[in-house]
Amino acid sequence: MATISKNTLGLIYTGIITVGFLTAGILDVLDYFIVKVLLFTGFAFFGIYMLMIILKNTENKNHSK
């Protein structure tokens, strides 16, 4: 089984969120509260995930010295 890199996961997740916002905007359902909650929660999780990756990479670089 092939492993997926962190960059690939980030790109896939960003694509899903972007398509979600685009679809919700086109279908004019972005005004519904539940749609806003789902999309912005997904965006927040993506931000937290990317922050964790950045912090982990920083730790690894500091320990390698």
Collapse the DSSP code of 25 into the 3-class scheme (helix H, G, I; strand E, B; otherwise coil) and give the result: helix
Q: Can you state the percent helix, strand and coil of the chain, rounding each to 5?
A: 80, 0, 20
The answer to whether 45 touches 9, Cβ cutoff 8 Å, is no
Please write the tens of the pLDDT for every residue from 5-48.
Answer: 878 888 888 888 889 889 988 988 888 888 888 888 988 888 88
Identify the band that residue 65 occupies on the pLDDT scale cut at 50, 70 and 90: low
The answer to whether the pTM exceeds 0.75 is no
pLDDT score, position 12:
86
